[in-house]
Structure 1
């Protein structure tokens, strides 16, 4: 019969240190980072200096159709591309080739909304990362067996997972905005004398800024719910074996 394999002393010490580090990180996030993020979001959008303030919508949209900038590619390269040069079995084409474009004009993106989306994406990524660290702490503190304390931990993990899904869905808002805006821009380029298309672009940008502010409020709500649930059940999260009575708050 083969001997049982066990952890050597050095490896066991490293695992214990990792578990201790995960615990300290998790508790730091629950008691310091989550409340701070909650406080940071409270009045951030009501300040006129905030990029999320609706006053920015009036001057951030440019519905002008500009002439396409001239290309600076060498004539020899243009001739090769026009002749249908083939590379690795695929016809080569210029990424900025507008020779055969149906509407070769150019419209500028909304730089203000790009910055707003980048801020939202960064906040969503931060939330996902923080939840991952708290989930690791809770998973490592789970004891063997099935008792009430473990059930509380699993419920908290489910709430953390739902929070991550919310953050990932909010992060996708930028892609949806760019796609919808591009469709409106093509209408403006195709029918530059129809003022309603230009107005619809301005209304779209204003709506997106309003939605971005609302999404920031949604993130604040996520932090509020997580902070409340984790703080109320912190004893059961820390010591699930000693909490076999009561219910989850």
Structure 2
């Protein structure tokens, strides 16, 4: 065996040991940890009002649109507009933020900072299990493929979990983009309360989404642990020998 082949085999053996330790000991510990986290005040019995935050966009006083009551707006051509410089109509200033920048929602940002490492761990753990099962799939032969089908079904479930976990990151980025668009509307139309209400509704929705993400992470660890433990013997030894079948 060449030096390169030995290093590859050592990597495979090390990965198998890590995966078995993860599924037997690591997953149960993670499930207990996530259950405890879901019972903390960050997620359990938290009021939706707790995630509201002031936008730091004051409502400016409205400016007078016209000095004459019931005055009709007249269409002016370029020559008339230049000659009647006093006819300029002043409206409310927009995109003016006298109090500085509009910050991100701090309660939700703190919660996202708490959730993201668990999403990353689920992606990494799923990838590890995927490679573990892939290394144990035997070469293609005729007969006795029941154990191999169990490996393939388990592998498909793990790949589904990995894809779903990766999608949670996209969900978080889409929240910030959506909130930025609504906040820009608030800055442009500060007198319209519906835009301000839309920001609060979006923040509440994101809080519920983050709670659901944590529940799904816990549930996925439970389902992967359950399916692997139940089929661990067939996953590790998908094909029984002919000698064993005689007794």
Output the TM-score relative to the length of structure 1: 0.73
Of 3, 8, 17, the match for 1:24: 17
Aligned to 2:31: 38
1:124 aligns with 2:119: yes
Of 219, 236, 239, the match for 2:237: 239
Computed over aligned residues only, the root mean square deviation of the Cα atoms, in angstroms, reads 2.5
Q: Distance in 1 between matches of 2:110 and 2:196?
A: 22
Q: Distance in 1 between matches of 2:35 and 2:132?
A: 28
How many residue pairs get matched?
A: 203
Q: CA shift at 1:193, angstroms? A: 2.4
Aligned to 1:155: 153
Q: CA shift at 1:53, angstroms? A: 5.9
Aligned to 1:64: 56
Task: Structure 2 unaligned segments of length 5 or more: list them.
Answer: 59-92, 243-247
Q: Is the 8 A contact 2:43 2:211 kept in 1?
A: no
Q: CA shift at 1:148, angstroms? A: 1.8
Q: Distance in 1 between matches of 2:212 and 2:12?
A: 37
Q: CA shift at 1:127, angstroms? A: 0.8
- Helix, strand or coil for the counterpart of 1:144? coil
Aligned to 1:229: 227
Q: CA shift at 1:21, angstroms? A: 1.0
Aligned to 2:211: 213
Higher gyration radius (CA): 2
Deviating 4+ runs (over 6 angstroms)? none
Aligned to 1:195: 193
Of 177, 180, 185, the match for 2:178: 180
Of 116, 140, 144, the match for 1:145: 140
Output the TM-score relative to the length of structure 2: 0.73
Q: CA shift at 1:54, angstroms? A: 2.9
Flag the 1:59–1:115 CA change in 2: closer, same or farther, 3 A.
Answer: closer
Task: Structure 1 unaligned segments of length 5 or more: list them.
Answer: 1-6, 67-100, 245-249
